[in-house]
Structure 1
């Protein structure tokens, strides 16, 4: 299976004229969410957080268990205990006694351990490196913190990476081994939906977005609360539309139709990102409900043996869901009227 990678606009480019492209990862099952697989919901072959047998993408700093039953208990460093909190896209360890020892943030959280209780015992997630080298792909090229996380399980066996399938390191992911941590958005991995946005709705919860994952792409495209900046503010339906596009949830049911490493160009209606004219075919128009039309699917443009009958698979799935799927040519809105109907246009390079 191909290793997922991403090539984005130069962070210094004007986002209104930059070409945005990505090799999208393949969310799948998680207890059977992929077609005929036992993949985690975010996908076989994708770079998603895993500890032991547990696939997940979020933890709650206040100690609520997530859907996998994982519960963050405490953060420690050099024998001292801290209350963890992710503020925007930065991890902070709040001291239990500021007079005795200070809170920590930034590079100073390197060496900290997140203690997580799971149904099969206690896991320790160690932050062994913090880097601030990953820029946003649109808008101001502010640098994000990334956190390289290893874990050891209740059997005290080998130390393993939490993000075990990193993409090739490049200017999009200068620290491909690190994960972005960000608060302000919550996701339903099975439905591929944005279920909450904003600090009040998501209080305590934060995401672990491994490099190359759909959630990392959402954040670096500023389609998260933590990534908002001035004119770069995406509403919840727009964020969900981008998520649907990245995972190719064509029918809007949460079923993905893509594989790791599949190249894709895209443009949004607000012109943060634009196609560069080198595309060979249009793929689809996307809303929060999935694709509203489909011309040449990415796996028709770049076939994969994993989906030998991709068009029929999509048509059957959408028919079962009652999701109408005309060609985009039939809608008659390309090349310059599609923004009235959809938020994103995807195309094949």
Structure 2
């Protein structure tokens, strides 16, 4: 297995009162020694996690200054006006003009724009959640973000409470003729209660129609479940920010996007199911997701790079990464 990733070298000294972690990151092209990598990470995860309020607030300021999830994460009537051109994230030459129909679909404002959320959990759907018994711990959070219609039937490992769920428009292709047969999708999203459903309607032109179809299909059947759309300017700016920090990939994954959102909006952030490798910390194999073994499209995301970025944030005390059993 070959990856183009950041080499991470851990020098870890743990005691009851002190955690000293030095990270040296170098860009390289070589095979990963998974046994060495998992051993280093297992030793690191055995150390007590020390939140760093200064680092946490620094990243909050940085993310708000560049991207402003507080006011710009989703399209609203406050940041998007009738007649305005919405330029697509991946091709700024293409745009959609906000007409009365689209304007009526947008919420008046972001629900979290008035203050910080509390303890947030972002669940990344990785196979490492299998047999983790993390469900109760995830459900104890004040605000829970899940990704890509991930199932919550295995509540022992992943919990079932949800406040925000992302949907990849490609997942809608299996629901034929939503206008006439919306009930199947309505039944599926009912598992998430009244969680808001978040779609990247304006990342690519091909995403627009299925995203708008989801809104129209669910509105009469589930009026209390909001369907909202990512602001493409927010997505573009966030991508530029992390790429400016050395992350090299075509597009950010929805996981890293939502972790970044949580870092700005939440007082503390805990993340689960973020592990891009096929072996766990004890070198046992497991599937890519806790519910299937379908990996990401090649050439779009760089999950190992993103994971090592999250690991760096963990060691800095900005967020807490949970791996293995809870």
TM-score over 0.5 for the alignment?
no
TM-score, length-normalised on structure 1?
0.27
Q: Which one has a larger percent strand, Structure 1 or Structure 2?
A: 1
Q: Higher RCO, 1 or 2 (CA under 8 Å, sep at least 6)?
A: 2
TM-score, length-normalised on structure 2?
0.28
